[in-house]
Every structure is written in structure tokens, then in C-alpha cells.
Amino acid sequence: MEIAGRLIEVARSLFMRYGIRSVTMEDITREMGVSKKTLYQVVDNKEDLVHQVLAHKLDEDVVALKQIQVEAIDAIDEMLRVTRYILATLRDLSPAVVFDLNKYYGSIWKKVEGVHKQQTYLLIRDNLKRGISQGLYRENINPDIIARLYVAKSSLIVDEGLFPSAEYHPATLFEETILYHMHGVASSRGLILLEKHLYEK
């Protein structure tokens, strides 16, 4: 387990710095100071390693976002905390990694993206319900529909045709998306609290 955990950590670090395609299994064994034989006792091949790295990141996100839900003082505070967490992740995400995942590991990326979309949908739906019950979001919104729209809008961030990575950083796009979302769902009381939270942070 110790080797598996270290392998994921090292591979993730190298992938984020240099892109997935350019990092070889030899690079990873060299960085870890282990033999290829040791490496292949943990993973079948590079594709399996990419899958494990992404799955581990998803697990990390689930734990972190659940903690945010518990710690947040209200629905708006929760969304702002979630936004800061995701922005930190996106700022670390190299456009080369997204490109490599789409081009060379499409099937893995689609699976992970599917799980991520479902997690995001549930998170946003629950947040909308929380906000409505607290009087911070408008009562006449449909949490199911708005959560699905949010997921669809978020997917557009990585659309190279719409937002070329050379011109638009994912973190900037996400920030604009979340502010657009918050101004669309917040009640008049919620908008006041939103401005207060933004000022404090």
C-alpha cells in the first residue's frame, strides 16, 4: 500500500508538471528509485496508472467536499468554499494534461468525467435545497433542473472549440461560471449575504 500510494503521488506530480504523454514509466521508476518490476506489481500499464491517479483524485475530492458541506455556515458560504477548492485544483491543472486525457486516454477520461458530473449534480442539488430552506435562494427555482444546467455549463469550460486554453484559463472560466450561477439563484437576502462573504474573503 505504501508503494501504491507513493506511486500515485509521484505519477500525479510528474503528469501535472510535464503532461501525461511525455512522462514515461521509466521516468516514474527513476523518480521513485524503484525497479520496473516493482512498479508493475502495482499497476498493469501506464493506462492503468492514469486511471488510478484520476480515481484517487476523485476520492480526495469527495472527502474534501463533504468536509466543506459540514463546515460551511450557510449555502452561500458552502458554494464559495467549494469554488475556492475547485479553483485551486484548476490552477494546478495544466492544459497539456487535459489535452492528453482527451486525446490519448479518452475512455478513462469519459468514465471519470461521468462520475465527476454525477457528484457535481448531487452537490449542487443539495446546496440549492439548503439555500432555499435558508431563504438565501429563490423559492421558485427547480433544484434538479438548475443542478443539471450547472453541470452542463461546467462542462463547457474544457471545450477547446469554445474556450481555447491558450486564451482562457479554466480557473477564470470557472470563477465567472460560479458568479453567474450565484446571481441567478440567490434571493435578495442571499445577494446581500453573497456580497458580504465575498468582501470578507
> Could you read off the pLDDT of 159-198 as tens digits, one per residue?
878 988 789 887 888 889 999 999 999 999 999 999 998 8
Q: Quick check: pTM over 0.85?
A: yes
Question: Is 98 part of any domain?
Answer: yes
Answer whether residue 171 is part of any domain.
yes
35 part of a folded domain? no
pLDDT interval class at 96 (50, 70, 90): confident
* Per-residue pLDDT reduced to its tens digit, 116-133: 899 999 999 999 999 999
**Is 148 a domain residue?**
yes
Residue appearing with cell numbers 469554488 = 83
Query: Is residue 8 in some structural domain?
Result: no
% of the chain surpassing 70 pLDDT = 99
Confirm whether 4 is domain-assigned. Answer: no
- Rounded CA-CA distance 171/55 in Å is 22
Average pLDDT over residues 147-169: 86
* Assigned domain for 60 exists: yes
- SS3 of 33-60: the string is CCCHHHHCCCCCCHHHHHHHHHHHHHHH
User: Is 124 a domain residue?
Assistant: yes
Residue 147 CB-density burial (10 A; 0-12 exposed, 13-18 middle, 19+ buried): buried
3-state secondary structure of 70: helix
Q: The domain spanning residue 106 has which CATH number?
A: 1.10.357.10
Report residue 102's pLDDT band, with 50, 70 and 90 as the boundaries: confident
Question: What share of the chain has pLDDT > 90, as a percent?
Answer: 71
Q: How many domains does the chain have?
A: 1
Q: Pick the more confident residue, 20 or 99.
A: 20
Supply the range of the domain harboring residue 74: 54-200
Q: In this structure, which long-range contacts are made by residues 28-37, counting pairs with CB atoms below 8 Å and at least 24 apart in sequence?
A: 32/6, 32/7, 34/3
| Residue 31 main-chain phi, psi, to 5 deg | -65, -35
